[in-house]
Amino acid sequence: MDSHSLYDKLQVLEPREKELDTKERLKAMERPLLTWYSKHARALPWRDRPDPYRVWISEIMLQQTRVEAVKPYYERFIGDLPGIRELAAVPEDRLLKLWEGLGYYTRAKNLKKTAELLVEQYGGELPASYEELKKLPGIGSYTAGAIASIAYGIPVPAVDGNVLRVVSRVTGSREDILKQSVKTRMEEELKAVMPEEAASSYNQGLIEIGAIVCVPNGPPLCSQCPLASLCVARIKGLIGEIPVKTPKKNRKIVDITVMLLWQNGRIAIRKREDTGLLASLYEFPNVEGHLKEEEIPARLGVEEAVIAPLPAAKHVFSHVEWHMTGFWVELEEPLHGDYLWVTGTDLKKNYSLPGAFKAYTKLIR
């Protein structure tokens, strides 16, 4: 059967004499959704063996990160830390090095914190309970729903941004999907209609449609969607208006001067404070504001240094945007203070520098 024939057979015809209400519309998604997912599910490494640990790690990595970007990190992480006990025991520096490049490092720290708790209180296993899962650090309703449904087959929804977009369009909802109350109500509505015997495929099917058909950026591929005949936004020409989102606040712009301090074949790094932005990660020495070249020696407390300007760089966080200027600073003697002086090889193998410094890290490597 070609794709168009399959698409036609998946559609649900809405009765002309009476428009479906929200519950009826959501219930009508089941058959076309499950049929479509069985044919179109992508081959992903965490789907090969969806045990609770692998599902958990993949879902945390996928938060705010694209699937294709996650794949190599996931494979490396699982290879080094194949289970909860290994994760609980790993030194933090090693954990953050494995996470390097994924960003949002609090996610990795919460993984370790949760693994330690699981070893202490749950026998080294993730609980087969949606409510118990939600009590664990870093696990909210979406991740708890994903683990519970995919790994344990428990019929609870997993509502992420993809699902919010798909269901809002299908039901024609103009409510703000960034409001917690809207997400909570949608979870309740989906729980009332989802099939108990196919919770995993149901949740993953909705997420998959949002990822590759009703896409987050750009126009949706309605001609490929099994839910097209049910979709109020498509039928009424509201695709450009739904979903509704509160406009984001403007990010704060912060100027930063980054200094690559070089002495006798070694580069200086230091560890950031335990709280705040990029907490506990290593960084190149830097100061707020854009220093001029002639200001560098005095700022470092040295009389002389060989200094060369480096390219400017920018890094965008969720609420802050760093505008960086950089300098290569070659010193006669290593500076005293909270610096580690490491070789380029050490930097690559053992220390996690956040992606914010990527433009400068690559100059060392």
Q: Which residues of 184-212 are buried (b: 16+ CB within 10 A; e: fewer)?
A: eebbebbeebbeeebbbbbbbbbbbbbbe
DSSP string, 238-265: -TTT-SB-PPPPPPEEEEEEEEEEEETT
Catalytic site includes residue 131:
no
Closest CA to 209 of 10, 17, 41: 41
At 300, which helix (H) or strand (E)?
A: helix 296-300
**Annotated catalytic residue within 24, 59, 92, 132:** 59
CA–CA gap between residue 219 and residue 229 (Å, rounded): 17
DSSP single-letter state for residue 127: -
- Measured from the Cβ of residue 329, the count of other Cβ atoms closer than 10 Å reads 24
Looking up tokens 């809207």 gives 182
Closest CA to 25 of 179, 189, 155: 189
CA–CA gap between residue 195 and residue 155 (Å, rounded): 7
- Measured from the Cβ of residue 47, the count of other Cβ atoms closer than 10 Å reads 15
Residue 110 one-letter amino acid: N
Looking up tokens 């002389």 gives 304
CA–CA gap between residue 224 and residue 117 (Å, rounded): 44
Which residues in the chain belong to E strands, given as ranges? 252-263, 266-271, 282-283, 286-288, 306-316, 320-330, 340-342
CB 46 within 8 A of CB 74: yes
**Bridge partner residues of 165 (DSSP):** none
Where do the H-state alpha helices sit in 136-229?
141-146, 152, 161-171, 180-193, 199-212
Active site residues: 59
